[in-house]
Amino acid sequence: MQYCVTSIVMIVKKHSVLILCLVAFGLNAQSDTTVTKKMSIDGEIVTAIVRDGDTLITAELNEASVTSFRKFDSDTQKRWYLKYRRYANTVYPYAVESIKMFRKVERETEGMKKKKRKKYVRNLQKELKKEFTDPLKSLSRTQGKILIKMIEYELDTPMYDLLKSVKSGFSASKWQTLGKFYGYNLKEGYIPGDDPIMDAILQDFDVSYE
């Protein structure tokens, strides 16, 4: 007979983590039965799969990015990387939300007439202004650049083309002119290898949204 063994194993997948709690006692004598049920843990209702006395608790988590320890050619390069990481942490939520909104516009305006689509985008823009105008105004130039590159990297499209598809060519040109004033070229897009520090940051932060 096997005696009581308790272990916890965490298995990380793309969008979920499985917390496997094994409590085995006399496993050889147990039958092969599987039951799915709801249970409460610290006041939260979770789904549990019970099989032969073993309990498998499933929980949804956001996607996690795991990278190896980075090496740098100089202390200056390391300082820039750490600075970019701090800035990326600040703009990350805005990048995810921007990508989410772009996907939403694509999905909900598909096949929509031009006039109706413009009205939809205009109403959505009003909603977003209330929530994001103040925090986005406080971003530095470098933070703004990282935000733009995060969006371009995920959507594989220059910001100019994104603005043109959602708004209009005139609007995209207006933002391109303003962007140049702050040192951005919205037509350029993300170019791998152009900025090694930026490459590392974009690899570290997963902004994908489906």
- Evaluate whether residue 70 is within a structural domain: no
Q: Are residues 105 and 165 in the same domain?
A: yes
Residue 11 has pLDDT above 60, yes or no: no
Q: How confident is the model at residue 23 (pLDDT cuts 50, 70, 90)?
A: very low
Q: Say what the pLDDT of residue 181 is.
A: 77
Q: Which of 31, 60, 89 is the last residue of a domain?
A: 60
Q: Are residues 113 and 165 in the same domain?
A: yes
Residue 13 has pLDDT above 60, yes or no: no
Q: Say what the pLDDT of residue 2 is.
A: 40
- Evaluate whether residue 65 is within a structural domain: no
196-204 vs 141-155: helix crossing angle, rounded to 10: 60
Q: Are residues 133 and 94 in the same domain?
A: yes
Contact 184, 148 (CB under 8 A): yes
Q: Say what the pLDDT of residue 20 is.
A: 40
**pLDDT, tens digit, 9 for 90 and up, residues 168-188:** 777 778 777 877 777 778 888
Q: Which of 35, 60, 85 is the last residue of a domain?
A: 60
Q: Are residues 100 and 177 in the same domain?
A: yes
Q: Are residues 85 and 44 in the same domain?
A: no
Q: Are residues 158 and 126 in the same domain?
A: yes
Q: Are residues 94 and 194 in the same domain?
A: yes
Q: Are residues 100 and 195 in the same domain?
A: yes
Burial letters 164-197, b for 16+ CB under 10 A, else e:
bebbeeeebeebbeebeeeebebeebbeeeebeb
35 Cβ contact list (under 8 Å, min separation 6): 49, 50, 51
Residue 22 has pLDDT above 50, yes or no: no
Q: Are residues 39 and 135 in the same domain?
A: no
**pLDDT, tens digit, 9 for 90 and up, residues 125-150:** 777 776 677 777 788 889 989 999 99
Dihedral of CA 78/80/86/92: which sign?
Answer: negative
Q: How confident is the model at residue 202 (pLDDT cuts 50, 70, 90)?
A: very high
The count of domains in the chain is 2
- Evaluate whether residue 210 is within a structural domain: no
- Evaluate whether residue 69 is within a structural domain: no
Q: Say what the pLDDT of residue 131 is.
A: 67
Full residue range of the structural domain in which residue 51 is found: 5-60
Q: Are residues 13 and 95 in the same domain?
A: no
Compute φ and ψ for 3, nearest 5 degrees.
Answer: -95, 170
- Evaluate whether residue 68 is within a structural domain: no
- Evaluate whether residue 118 is within a structural domain: yes
Q: Which of 20, 35, 60 is the last residue of a domain?
A: 60
Is the model's pTM score more than 0.85?
A: no
Q: What is the mean pLDDT of residues 44-56?
A: 76
